[in-house]
Amino acid sequence: MTPFKSFLSILSLFVVLGVLAWIYPASGISIADVTFRFPALTDIFEKEDPNAIAEDNNAETDPQKAIEEMMAATQAKEFAKFSDSLKFYEDFFQNGRNRFDLPNNDPTWFDRLFLHLELAKIDSNTVHIVHYGDSQLEEDRISATIREDLQKEFGGGGPGMLPAVLNIPSQTTSVWNNGDLTRFIMFGTEEDRADHNRYGPLAQVSKLEGSAVIGIKKREDKDGKFTHVGGYGIIKVLASKRGNLRARLAYESTVIENEGTEKEKRKKKFVDAPAPTDEKFNKLRVFTWKLPDTTSNAKVYLSGNAEIYSISVDGPYGVAVDNVAMRGSSGTVFTRMDKELLAESFKAINARLIIMEYGGNLVPSLNKSNLEYTRKLITKQIQTVQNANPDADILFIGPADMAKQMDGKIKSYPGLELTIQMLREIALENGLAYWDMFRVMGGEGSMRKWVKQSPPLAGADYIHFSRRGAAYMGELFCNALRMHYDFFKFRDRHKIDDAKLKELSKWYKENKTEKPAEAAPQAEDAQ
């Protein structure tokens, strides 16, 4: 059969079927109990609903919806790998006993400080952390532990700022003086104070009338706890611009001659101070020595008439922690200090964190009747320091547990928790971080337990830490700070900026489970 005839045959078949479909009854033909039906033409050639087609196409191929679904799946996969680490950090930031209370609960509050500390080595710069406090800080307690930990991490050496006349010995650094120096302090009795308010960053000043020598030397450390407090590389004298002052430095070189012999000796070098860099200050004159090699033993020779505010003894770069102990002070001295001089001093030493550790001396007298007055007084101190150094962050450390005998028992002071609540509120309202030593110790009654430890962590007065207790408190502080630094590095490694962190935190809160975090795997990512 030819193709044409085949075509005619097929066409004829379709025609016959079409005629049958047209004339066949719609209800079909019944024979006995069986009904025969033939499809109608409308069934064969029925048109599809265009709206239904559009809906199906949209459901399958809508590009916007497909992209959103892909992005959601990708984000879920990416964020899920961070969930364990987030759980690890969140548990500490919210529930850790030695956690910081932060403005707006922002765990990135320390980022600016960490950036300065990391850049210090790159820029051959020194970042100062000024640790103000009451008698809990005497002998360089607490501060020394913080300094050692930070210098080990970020580099640095030396004890930081020291007064020309140090009347209470330091456990880390020996400071002595001979000559025509008279010491005045802001936080002492009326007889201790100067007839002016030019006290500088240490809240004290030494008046030079004639000549004097000041010796600075690292103390012998048999236990090896403070290995970084030596290694002086940069020494500065902060003095008044008024008057006249000549300065010279002698230091013991670390170069050893005839090592291991009976004639072994160390070289001593004398270096005149270069011209002071005071052109940018109105009230401050700064003498600076940058040593070609480090030392742990130096002498500063001064002559003339001037006010000496501090001697800063630092490593070639890194971090310095200044211990500023004010016995009996409640931290209410800052508003009575020369504000311009204070601001210039902070700038001269590159102070990037100010720690204000006060409150213990407020506790015995604080009550509801003087609460509002005290609140305003402390707020003014904080704002004065903020105005003097707007480029620095401020951290407030509240009082530890304090106890005395009441009703035949050793109990925490009644006004302690009221004081802590007030100080925390003031700090957070003014953008400060707050660290609660009372909570860190264990809360009410914890001082009694610290005293009973063997060896004791606190003294028999149930107020002051022992050296061991102060070191332990410093370690707890460093552990808390290190958690934030680990969090800082974790975000840096994974390129998590602030916007992404908000997304990540939101996703975590929506998807977190009650499964407890396992310390080991998170800690590995938190290094």
Q: Tell me the three state secondary structure of residue 258.
A: coil
What single-letter DSSP state applies at residue 264? Answer: -
β-bridge mates for residue 396, sequence order: 356, 434
| Residue 164 near residue 308, CB atoms below 8 Å | yes
How high is the mean pLDDT in each 10-residue block of the chain (527 residues)? 63 64 64 61 54 52 58 56 79 94 96 96 94 97 97 96 95 96 92 94 97 96 89 95 91 65 63 67 93 91 97 97 96 96 97 98 95 97 98 98 93 95 98 98 96 96 96 97 95 85 72 49 36
pLDDT value of residue 523? 35
| Residue 306 near residue 208, CB atoms below 8 Å | yes
pLDDT value of residue 519? 41
Gyration radius of the chain over CA positions:
37
Spatial neighbors of 201 by CB under 8 A, at least 6 apart, are: 130, 161, 238, 309, 310, 322, 324, 342, 345, 346, 349, 351
User: How far is the C-alpha of 415 from the C-alpha of 57, rounded, in Å?
Assistant: 72
Helix (H) or strand (E) holding 301: strand 297-314
User: How far is the C-alpha of 423 from the C-alpha of 357, rounded, in Å?
Assistant: 11
User: How far is the C-alpha of 374 from the C-alpha of 274, rounded, in Å?
Assistant: 46
Spatial neighbors of 386 by CB under 8 A, at least 6 apart, are: 394, 430
pLDDT value of residue 76? 55
User: How far is the C-alpha of 358 from the C-alpha of 327, rounded, in Å?
Assistant: 11
User: How far is the C-alpha of 218 from the C-alpha of 231, rounded, in Å?
Assistant: 9
Q: Tell me the three state secondary structure of residue 505.
A: helix
pLDDT value of residue 189? 87
Spatial neighbors of 398 by CB under 8 A, at least 6 apart, are: 359, 419, 420, 423, 424, 434, 435, 436, 437, 438
Q: Where are the alpha helices (DSSP H) in 226-351?
A: 339-349
Query: Residue with structure tokens 């003097």?
Result: 388
β-bridge mates for residue 252, sequence order: 268
β-bridge mates for residue 250, sequence order: 270, 299
| Residue 402 near residue 135, CB atoms below 8 Å | no
pLDDT value of residue 11? 62
The string over 325-348, giving b where at least 16 C-beta atoms fall within 10 Å of a residue's C-beta and e elsewhere, is: bbbebbbbbbeebbeebbbbbbbb
